[in-house]
């Protein structure tokens, strides 16, 4: 009898569990609907990016309407959240965000715009820093839709110019050398973050602006900033902006990375390598920097990218040779103002450096993960010293290797022409008379005293008086 009662009780519990399971299976999916947990807006010169953080994976459908201009996104199986009422428009073309549930269960989000823009959208799976994301890029439809440089960055004190000698100031003609300065990361991608909360994207933009100021006052050089504010630019777009928009002669990417070991310290300069990294750290840093597209959000759908990369590799040798030269000079100058991680230039497979026709270097200004270097990187004084050193390195390189047709090339040509190799039987007084210069000025210019004896084959520099 007791066994029979126990069996009935067990059957009753099983029946109840079955009923509960049936209710759960019959429950509409709306109970498990995803939500938009936050919304971020990033305004760039050529586009506005809107990022919806989601509690889970979704699908979506996008279309546009005119008069007034709107972008409409329908998201099935999603619920309205307060995040849609707390959007910071940041003064861009996005003027309002509206949302409402539709009769079919979709969540409709409407973006009100102040002008006609070309929308593109894609979904991103969870990454190291973010969960599921829906990204809407609103691109300008008018001319000049490219990453813009500014005529002058945010105001900072302009340092003294590393100028050419006054005796050559009368040289005219020749185009300016264009130096593209790329502040790494930005927008959705903060880069490395220090223990005190210092974000790499902020520090490197400040340093990039200071390098801009150093180069701007140098006759014959025109600096341009690839990123002028807090917004994301894909790695390939950074290279293309330098190449196609600005026709740059040099590409310099500025970073301040982190490492697991907080004791790691020192600045570094990298050039591209096609045959593996020169050190374990170089490989680790390259892998981290190359993840920027995944963090910042890029819609990869170009099947020709692999073919293009092969063609680029074939054209890379010449630019890599000059990348190593300019990088070594910049590193040497930086060694005079900050600790170096290694005293020689390193190489690794940095994607942002893969321009086939432009010498390109990546400068790690320090380890933001090191407490001392994080403090230094926040310091105005340290930033100024770094920017001046990097600027001096760039100017020195072009002084030695000027591109044809530039002001620097004309300067070097005149400077080289004002030299004289002493032949047998020549005297200092005769050489001075030949070039119509004062004998004392000739001797002083070449640091010669009355007791010095000149020799055949000796090269004298003629003062340009």
375/367 Cα distance (integer angstroms): 10
Share of the chain above pLDDT 90, in %: 55
When pLDDT is averaged across residues 340-368 and rounded to a whole number, the result is 90
390/336 Cα distance (integer angstroms): 11
When pLDDT is averaged across residues 90-116 and rounded to a whole number, the result is 92
**Span of 106-120, 352-366, 408-422 with lowest mean pLDDT:** 408-422
At residue 158, the pLDDT reads 44
pTM strictly above 0.85: no
Going by C-alpha positions, the residue among 329, 356, 359 that lies closest to residue 344 is 329
Q: Is the pLDDT of residue 27 over 50?
A: no
Measured CA to CA in angstroms, residue 436 lies from 250, 275, 416, 432, 442 at distances of 40, 55, 18, 6, 10
- The dotted CATH code for 418-461 is 3.10.350.10
Dihedral sign for Cα atoms in the order 153, 293, 387, 194: positive
Q: Where are the domains of the chain?
A: 34-140, 166-408, 418-461
Average pLDDT, the chain: 83
- pLDDT tier at 15 (50, 70, 90 boundaries)? low
- pLDDT tier at 392 (50, 70, 90 boundaries)? very high
Q: Is the pLDDT of residue 179 over 80?
A: yes
At residue 165, the pLDDT reads 43
Q: Is the pLDDT of residue 267 over 50?
A: yes
307/298 Cα distance (integer angstroms): 19
Number of residues written out for the chain:
465
Measured CA to CA in angstroms, residue 465 lies from 162, 320, 414, 436, 458 at distances of 21, 39, 13, 9, 21
**Span of 71-75, 84-88, 106-110, 224-228 with lowest mean pLDDT:** 84-88
Q: Is the pLDDT of residue 216 over 90?
A: yes
At residue 402, the pLDDT reads 94
**Helices vs strands, H then E, count in the chain:** 12, 17
265/330 Cα distance (integer angstroms): 18
CA dihedral 441, 445, 450, 455 (to 10 degrees): -120
16/5 Cα distance (integer angstroms): 17
Residue 121 in 3-state DSSP? Answer: strand
At residue 296, the pLDDT reads 75
> Which CATH number is correct for 34-140, 3.20.20.80, 2.60.40.3500, 1.10.10.60, 3.40.50.300?
2.60.40.3500
CATH architecture of 166-408: 3-Layer(aba) Sandwich (3.40)
Helix (H) or strand (E) holding 316: helix 316-334
When pLDDT is averaged across residues 249-276 and rounded to a whole number, the result is 89
- pLDDT tier at 147 (50, 70, 90 boundaries)? very low
When pLDDT is averaged across residues 295-323 and rounded to a whole number, the result is 62
* Total Cβ atoms within 10 A of residue 226: 29
Dihedral sign for Cα atoms in the order 225, 231, 234, 235: positive
449/430 Cα distance (integer angstroms): 17
At residue 318, the pLDDT reads 64
């Amino acid at each position: 009898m007791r066994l029979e009662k126990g069996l009935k009780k067990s059957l009753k519990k099983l029946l109840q569990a079955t009923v509960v399971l049936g209710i759960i299976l019959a429950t509409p999916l709306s109970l498990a609907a995803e939500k938009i947990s936050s919304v971020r807006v990033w305004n760039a010169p050529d586009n506005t990016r809107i990022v919806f953080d989601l509690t889970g994976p979704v699908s979506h459908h996008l279309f546009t309407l005119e008069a007034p201009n709107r972008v409409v996104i329908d998201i099935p199986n999603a619920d309205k959240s307060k995040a849609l009422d707390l959007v910071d428009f940041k003064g861009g073309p996005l003027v309002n965000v509206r949302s409402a549930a539709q009769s079919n269960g979709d969540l409709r989000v409407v973006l009100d715009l102040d002008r006609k823009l070309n929308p593109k959208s894609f979904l991103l799976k969870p990454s190291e820093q973010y969960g599921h994301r829906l990204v809407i890029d609103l691109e300008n439809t008018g001319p000049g839709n490219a990453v813009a440089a500014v005529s002058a960055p945010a105001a900072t004190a302009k340092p003294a110019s590393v100028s050419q000698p006054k005796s050559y100031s009368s040289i005219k003609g020749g185009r300016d050398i264009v130096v593209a300065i790329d502040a790494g990361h930005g927008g959705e991608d903060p880069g490395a973050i220090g223990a005190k909360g210092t974000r790499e994207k902020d520090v490197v933009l400040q340093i990039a602006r200071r390098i801009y100021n150093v180069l701007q006052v140098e006759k014959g050089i025109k600096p341009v900033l690839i990123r002028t504010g807090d917004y994301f630019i894909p790695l390939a777009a950074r290279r293309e902006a330098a190449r196609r928009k600005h026709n740059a002669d040099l590409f310099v990417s500025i970073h301040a990375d982190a490492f697991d070991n907080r004791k790691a310290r020192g600045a570094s300069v990298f050039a591209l390598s096609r045959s593996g990294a020169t050190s374990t750290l170089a490989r680790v840093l390259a892998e981290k920097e190359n993840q920027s597209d995944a963090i910042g959000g890029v819609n990869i759908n170009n099947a020709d990218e692999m073919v293009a990369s092969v063609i680029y590799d074939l054209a890379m040798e010449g630019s890599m040779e000059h990348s190593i030269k300019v990088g070594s000079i910049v590193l040497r100058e930086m060694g005079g103002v900050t600790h170096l991680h290694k005293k020689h230039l390193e190489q690794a497979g940095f994607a942002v450096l893969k321009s086939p026709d432009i010498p390109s270097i990546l400068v790690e200004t320090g380890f933001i993960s090191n407490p001392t270097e994080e403090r230094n990187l926040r310091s105005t004084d340290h930033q100024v010293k770094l920017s001046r050193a990097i600027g001096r390195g760039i100017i020195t390189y072009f002084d030695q290797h000027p591109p044809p047709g530039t002001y620097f090339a004309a300067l070097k040509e005149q400077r080289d022409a004002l030299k004289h190799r002493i032949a047998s039987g020549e005297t200092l007084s005769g050489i001075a008379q030949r070039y119509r210069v004062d004998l004392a000025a000739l001797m002083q210019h070449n640091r010669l005293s009355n007791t010095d004896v000149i020799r055949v084959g000796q090269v004298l520099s003629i003062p340009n008086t």
